[in-house]
């Protein structure tokens, strides 16, 4: 494989890493904003998140990540 092909292969990988980072940050920001708005609407204070809620959310996020990872197959 030539050096030019190696650079081209690394280029798409870097683009995907940057794109994933930006999309993850935007999704995290949107989630935090929605949580803040919901907490303000319901009790005007910091949200009370139970362990069960956190576990359910974590399992959901893992499912989404697995779904995205399977797109490459």
* 39-69 confidence digits (pLDDT tens): 888 877 888 889 999 999 999 999 999 999 9
Instruction: Report the predicted TM-score, pTM, of the whole model to 2 decimal places.
Output: 0.69
pLDDT score of 43? 78
* 18-35 confidence digits (pLDDT tens): 999 999 999 999 999 999
Q: Where are the domains of the chain?
A: 3-70
pLDDT score of 3? 60
Q: 2 pLDDT exceeds 60?
A: no
What is the signed CA dihedral for 50, 56, 59, 64, rounded to 10 degrees? -120
Mean pLDDT of 10-20: 91
How far, in Å, CA of 59 to CA of 61, rounded? Answer: 5
């Amino acid at each position: 494989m030539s050096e030019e092909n190696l650079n081209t292969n690394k280029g798409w990988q870097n683009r995907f890493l940057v794109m994933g980072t930006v999309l993850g940050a935007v999704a995290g920001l949107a989630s935090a904003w929605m949580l803040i708005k919901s907490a303000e609407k319901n009790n005007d204070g910091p949200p009370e998140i139970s362990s069960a809620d956190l576990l359910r959310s974590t399992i959901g996020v893992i499912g989404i990540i697995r779904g995205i990872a399977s797109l490459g197959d």
